[in-house]
Each structure stands twice: as structure tokens, then as C-alpha cells.
Amino acid sequence: MNYALVTGAGRGIGRAIAQRLARDGYTVLINYRSNDTEARKTIDSICQDGGQAELLKFDVTDAAAVHEAITSWQAAHPENYISVLVNNAGIRKDNLLVFLEQEDVEQVIRTNLMSFFSVTREVLPYMVRKRYGRVVNIASLSGLKGLPGQTNYSASKGGLIAATKALAQEVARKKVTVNAVAPGFIQTEMLEGLDENMIKQVVPMGRAGEPEEVASLVSFLVSEQASYITGECININGGLSS
């Protein structure tokens, strides 16, 4: 049985990725921090579609909790391992730098960047030992070009992209690929508060993307067809960075 762990899979892009990977034949581990209702919606949608999924509740910003959750899961599944990891959990706390509270900086960095280290460090040894694995990190256009009012968010996603490129070189000979996906404006809760007309004006395609479009890209990156792609950050933003 092939297992895929998607962090922050209770809604939005994470939910779409979990649903797509389940359709691809993976048993998906639905990670979430606190919203039991939304996580249950994700797993119910997968099961209704004939897929398989399990809930794996832990806070990605708590390294001890991450270790406990994944170690316990592995002990309960000694014949299997997590062969696909999608580091999707992320938050925004936008403001101009001069108005950013220290906690808003630290919380964004902990959730968007430090969680990559905590989760990947627990899963990666099994991939290396089995000589097969896929890690996909959900970054952002903000991490590539920076956006005003998102200094903390841009820093966290930019760091994630750099970490992706470094780790890819460490594990390539073990047949483990590590890539990043950098979405632009995607129709999720993260767009709340943004002017829809502004998005239509600045995006060459004239619209925001759909979570399912990001999920399709992730699906390709974890497939055998993408076995020679590693250390890359692939944009999916409707031409915004062209």
C-alpha cells in the first residue's frame, strides 16, 4: 500500500491535493491541526469517491508533536512507509513590515518554513532507506518575487524554495525527488480580503487558479513520469511571473 502525507489537508489546496492523490491510488494521511469538521469533510469526500484516507492530527509547528504522531503511525504500520510527502500547511499574517508584530513574523515562519524541517526530517529517513520517495513543498509566487505587505510570508516561502533546492541535492542519489510548487492567486480562503477585479487585471489569464489545478501539478511531480525532475520550483500562476 502506498501512503501519502499531506499537511494542512483540511481545506483549500491541501484538500484538493489529498483528493487527487487518493484518486491516484494513494492512501492519504490527512494532517490538520484543530478543525475536526473540515478534516472530516476531506476524508469523507475521498471515501465517497472510492479512495482511502486516514486522519493524522498534529500541529506542524510543534516538533515534538510531529515526532510523536509520525513515530506512532510508523509503529502501527511496520510494513509500510510514507513514500510521498506534501508540505502544504501554511498561513498568512499580512502587514507592512513597520506594523508587523513579532508574533506575526514568528508564527508565519514557524508554520510555513520550520514545519518543513520538522515533518520532512521524520519522513525522509524511510524514503532514503527504501530508496524511493517524493517530497513536494507548496511555496508561493511571493517567495519568488516578494510582495509588499508580505515580508514575513515572502521570507518563509523564499526560504522553503531554497531548502527545496538544497535537500534535492542531498537525496537525489537515493531516488528521492524534492520539488516545490509556487501558486499565484488560487481560489481558497487565502484570497479573502483581496479584490477580485484586481486579480483579473494583474493576472494575464484574467482569473484566479483553482485548487484542483495545483493538485494536478503535484500529482505529476509525485508520479514516475517526473522521476528526473528534482530541485525545481514550478510556477502555477496564470502567467503572472512571465
Q: Record the cell numbers describing residue 133, joined without a space.
A: 520517495
What distance, in Å, lies between the first and last C-alpha atoms of the chain? 40
Q: Mean pLDDT throughout 102-124? A: 97
CA angle at 10 for the pair 8 and 15, rounded to the nearest 5°: 90
Confidence of residue 72 (pLDDT cuts 50, 70, 90): very high
What is the average pLDDT across 166-193? 91
Q: What is the DSSP string of 122-184?
A: HHHHHHHHHT-EEEEEE--HHHHH--TTBHHHHHHHHHHHHHHHHHHHHHGGGTEEEEEEEE-
135: left (phi over 0), alpha (psi -120 to 50) or beta: beta
Q: What is the DSSP string of 183-241?
A: E-SBSSGGGTTS-HHHHHHHSTTSS-B-HHHHHHHHHHHTSGGGTT--S-EEEESTTTT
CA 78 to chain centre: 25
* 3 state DSSP class of 10: coil
User: Would you say residue 242 has pLDDT above 70?
Assistant: no
Give the pLDDT score at 90: 94
Rounded to an integer, the average pLDDT of 24-36 is 96
Per-residue pLDDT, 205: 86
Average pLDDT, the chain: 94
pTM of this prediction?
0.94
Please give the C-alpha separations between residue 119 and each of 69, 70, 201, in angstroms, as whole numbers. 10, 8, 38
As a whole number of angstroms, the distance between CA 29 and CA 194 comes to 31
Between 173 and 193, the higher pLDDT residue: 173
34: DSSP letter: S
pLDDT above 70 (res 193): no
Question: Cα–Cα distance between 158 and 155 in angstroms, integer?
Answer: 5
Is the Cβ–Cβ distance between 156 and 143 less than 8 Å? yes
Mean pLDDT of 106-128: 98
Residues 192-206, mean pLDDT to the nearest whole number: 78
Contact 77, 70 (CB under 8 A): no
* Active site amino acids: 153
